[in-house]
Amino acid sequence: MHASPVFQRKPRIAVLATGAPAGEVGGAERFYIGLRDALVRAGADAEIVYEVSHEANFAAILESYLRFYDLDLSAYDGVISTKAPGYMIRHRNHVCYLQHTMRVFYDMFQVEFPQVTDELLAQRRIVHLLDTEALRAPRTRKIFVVGEEVQQRLEYFNGTSSEVLHQASTLEGFHTGGQRYFFLPGRLHRWKRVDLAIEAMRLTKAPVDLLISGTGEDEAKFRTLTETDPRIRFLGRVSDEKLLNYYADALAVLFVPLREDFGLITQEAFLSAKPVITCLDSGEPTRLVRDGVTGFVVEPTAAALSEAMMALAGDPDRARVMGAQGRQDIRALSWEKVADRLLAALGFATKVQA
């Protein structure tokens, strides 16, 4: 049981959230809520401060960086920034719990800009310089990151060290049901490589459907790829209750993004006692999934992915054992540990009640 701490004075903490212009709700928003609620449970007076970051063009990006730089949060005792460009904040007591930097100027630069120009290279240098300076002490007292993928990226591009602090899921009520289909939840964006899963499904001859939940920028494109295969179904955005049920009745969960920062999907699949099939270049999921033990980590090809899917479709008992081990592997992850570590980094050491 997590004991309730006692502070000499309840600290007022701002969780600085970088919001999307269209107000999309996804994993980042759940992250902010989970972090705030954990800080409150730990005894802090915490609230989420939303500030929109516009990224339509480079001028808008620079304006967003400046807006966070000028943001006045001096009324708070501590600030926890979470992703670009939130860490530009100037505050006497600031730590960063980094989800990611602006990835289009980092690991996804050549993916998004195959024809690199001098102008684009100059823009990337500016972003790297701003990020590196903002994340240095004493502007930022301590940097935590959601996973090793972000940690290594930060070290490689910015020469900055950090501490890995895995988050937990904000969903409650995970349970295990049947083994009826393959399930692929999440944002329908090209970086998530839903098209790779669809192509693998075409090669998979087992009588098992593929259910895809979520919405995103590339949904229309992905839907056109499935018009000739009735086994592949799009569910759209689903409620938390339905999401839990879809996890519960999955044979296995597919999660095949490119260089994912963390990916709650792996964790939520394990909490539902389901194995995860991911790829060697999928980032943090490859560090969470133990190949052949809690799922499969395969080459990022449709053939390799299909082979793993066929293996589990042909051996549901093995899938069940893998899922149970996955749940065992992540049993220690909790928001309480995250909150305690962040509060300590801000200088708010706690005393446990007798």
Q: Give one DSSP letter per residue of 121-162, joined into a string.
A: HHHHHHHHHHHHHHHSTTTSS-EEESSHHHHHHHHHHH----
**173 in a structural domain:** no
Q: Which of 56-60, 155-159, 184-188, 227-231 is the least confident region? A: 227-231
Confidence band of 43 (pLDDT split at 50, 70, 90): very high
Which tokens in the block code for residue 157?
A: 């591009």
Report whether pLDDT(50) > 90. yes
One domain, residues 144 and 241 = no
* Number of separate domains in the chain: 2
**176 in a structural domain:** no
Confidence band of 201 (pLDDT split at 50, 70, 90): very high
One domain, residues 103 and 34 = yes
102: left (phi over 0), alpha (psi -120 to 50) or beta: beta
Report whether pLDDT(19) > 90. no
Report whether pLDDT(253) > 90. yes
Q: What's the pLDDT score for residue 5?
A: 54
**Which amino acid belongs to residue 132?**
T
Q: Is the pTM of this model over 0.75?
A: yes
One domain, residues 219 and 103 = no
One domain, residues 194 and 306 = yes
One domain, residues 258 and 341 = no
One domain, residues 343 and 321 = no
Confidence band of 14 (pLDDT split at 50, 70, 90): very high
Report whether pLDDT(173) > 80. yes
User: What is the strand order of the sheet 276-279 is part of?
Assistant: 232-236, 209-213, 181-184, 250-254, 276-279, 295-298
Confidence band of 352 (pLDDT split at 50, 70, 90): very low
**237 in a structural domain:** yes
Confidence band of 351 (pLDDT split at 50, 70, 90): very low
One domain, residues 188 and 298 = yes
* 140, 94 Cβ separation under 8 angstroms: yes
One domain, residues 52 and 153 = yes
One domain, residues 67 and 153 = yes
Which tens digits make up the pLDDT trace of 223-239? 999 988 899 999 999 99
Q: What's the pLDDT score for residue 22?
A: 60
Q: Which domain holds residue 34?
A: 5-168+334-352
**214 in a structural domain:** yes
Report whether pLDDT(83) > 70. yes
Q: What's the pLDDT score for residue 106?
A: 97
* 182, 202 Cβ separation under 8 angstroms: no
Report whether pLDDT(8) > 90. no
Report whether pLDDT(4) > 60. no
**175 in a structural domain:** no
Percent of the chain with pLDDT over 70: 95
**20 in a structural domain:** yes
Report whether pLDDT(92) > 90. yes
Task: Please state whether beta strands 351-352 and 5-6 pair in parallel, antiparallel, or not at all (unpaired).
Answer: antiparallel
**139 in a structural domain:** yes
**314 in a structural domain:** yes
CATH number for the domain harbouring residue 248: 3.40.50.2000
One domain, residues 209 and 269 = yes
For 182, other C-beta atoms within 10 Å of its C-beta total: 27
One domain, residues 11 and 158 = yes
One domain, residues 297 and 244 = yes
